[in-house]
């Protein structure tokens, strides 16, 4: 039985005061049966780590470099994140694929860099609305996943996958539990062909998950929790989603 995982993606939101209030609120609401983590902007990671010391809530970053170190101005290496206790790193979020032209191979290389430093990459895949309408959902998510499978080979079972249909992110439009489950099942089948441990891998759903739709999504056979954007910024809302996963 896979333990559910709920990860908050704060995106480019937060401040010293807002983060302190959010983390205090969350710690007062927990703990939960599900595993819970928050992924904060880089400048706040150290203070998030400090606030969460001794807490069951894990923390992570929203991106990392594919490179080990060197002349890559503005980038943050996986080794740097690992050095002060980071657990997760999101790679291939659709906002990075769209706004920073991240290719499938770059995302795979970032996942590899993360694993090399014992961070757990949360690899995001998902189709745009135009791709869904053109009947390309399966081809797109399989292509995105395939780059990661080929790059990581037998290490693929160490990643967390997040299926995030681009049309559902921040739009208030959620995939129905059946739509999401159908894609999760095909991702699981693809992972099964690559790893005997695919049955133990977590595949999260992301895209306008809220307290009132979380339970029905999380009840699907291949949905092992959620990657939560907007609703992770309010302790009460995020805690309700964590409860729905428990």
Active-site positions? 93, 164
User: Least distance from C-beta 43 to ligand PEP, angstroms?
Assistant: 19
Distance (Å, whole) CA 114 – CA 78? 5
- Residue span binding ligand PEP (CB under 6 A) among the ranges 32-40, 127-135, 139-147, 207-215: 207-215
- Residue span binding ligand PEP (CB under 6 A) among the ranges 69-77, 141-149, 202-210, 236-244: 202-210
Indicate whether 228 belongs to the interface with ligand PEP (CB under 6 A): yes
Q: What are phi and psi of 36, to 5 degrees?
A: -135, 140
Tell which one of 208, 217, 225, 237 touches ligand PEP (CB under 6 A).
208
Count other C-beta atoms under 10 Å from residue 46's C-beta. 12
Which residues ranging from 37 to 66 are in contact with ligand PEP (CB under 6 A)?
none
Indicate whether 107 belongs to the interface with ligand PEP (CB under 6 A): no
Distances (CA, A) of 103 to 28, 116, 135, 225: 40, 20, 21, 26
Q: For the chain, give me the number of helices (H) and strands (E)?
A: 10, 8
| Closer residue to ligand PEP (CB): 195 or 205 | 205
Distance (Å, whole) CA 160 – CA 190? 14
DSSP-derived pairing of the beta strands 58-61 and 35-39: parallel
Tell which one of 106, 227, 242, 245 touches ligand PEP (CB under 6 A).
227
Local structure of residue 93 (DSSP, 8 states): -
Distance (Å, whole) CA 97 – CA 65? 14
Contact track, ligand PEP, 152-191, x by CB under 6 A: ------------x----xx---------------------
Indicate whether 236 belongs to the interface with ligand PEP (CB under 6 A): no
Indicate whether 14 belongs to the interface with ligand PEP (CB under 6 A): no
Count other C-beta atoms under 10 Å from residue 165's C-beta. 28
| Closer residue to ligand PEP (CB): 69 or 176 | 176
Indicate whether 206 belongs to the interface with ligand PEP (CB under 6 A): yes
Indicate whether 129 belongs to the interface with ligand PEP (CB under 6 A): no
126: left (phi over 0), alpha (psi -120 to 50) or beta: left
User: Least distance from C-beta 33 to ligand PEP, angstroms?
Assistant: 21
- Residue span binding ligand PEP (CB under 6 A) among the ranges 13-21, 74-82, 109-117, 224-232: 224-232
Distances (CA, A) of 95 to 44, 181, 184, 185, 214: 20, 23, 21, 24, 22
Residue 70, SS3? coil
Summarize as ranges the residues that interact with ligand PEP (CB under 6 A).
9, 11, 164, 169-170, 206-209, 227-231
């Amino acid at each position: 039985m896979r333990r559910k995982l709920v990860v908050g993606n704060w995106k480019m939101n937060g401040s010293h005061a807002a983060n302190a209030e959010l983390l205090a609120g969350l710690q007062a609401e927990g703990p939960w049966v599900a595993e819970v983590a928050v992924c904060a902007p880089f400048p706040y990671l150290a203070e998030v780590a400090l606030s969460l010391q001794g807490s069951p809530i894990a923390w992570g970053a929203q991106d990392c470099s594919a490179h080990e170190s060197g002349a890559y101005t503005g980038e943050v290496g996986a080794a740097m994140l690992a050095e002060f206790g980071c657990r997760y790193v999101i790679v291939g979020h659709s906002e990075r694929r769209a706004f920073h032209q991240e290719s499938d191979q770059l995302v795979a290389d970032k996942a590899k860099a993360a694993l090399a430093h014992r961070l757990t990459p949360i690899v995001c895949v998902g189709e745009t609305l135009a791709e869904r309408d053109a009947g390309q959902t399966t081809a797109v998510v399989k292509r995105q996943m395939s780059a990661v499978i080929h790059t990581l080979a037998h290490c693929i079972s160490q990643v967390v996958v997040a299926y995030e249909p681009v049309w559902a992110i921040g739009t208030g439009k959620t995939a129905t539990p059946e739509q999401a489950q159908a894609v999760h099942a095909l991702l699981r089948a693809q992972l099964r062909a690559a790893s005997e441990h695919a049955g133990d891998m977590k595949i999260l759903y992301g895209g306008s998950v809220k307290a009132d739709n979380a339970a029905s999504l999380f009840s699907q056979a291949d949905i092992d929790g959620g990657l939560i954007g907007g609703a992770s910024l309010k302790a009460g809302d995020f805690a309700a989603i964590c409860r729905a996963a428990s």
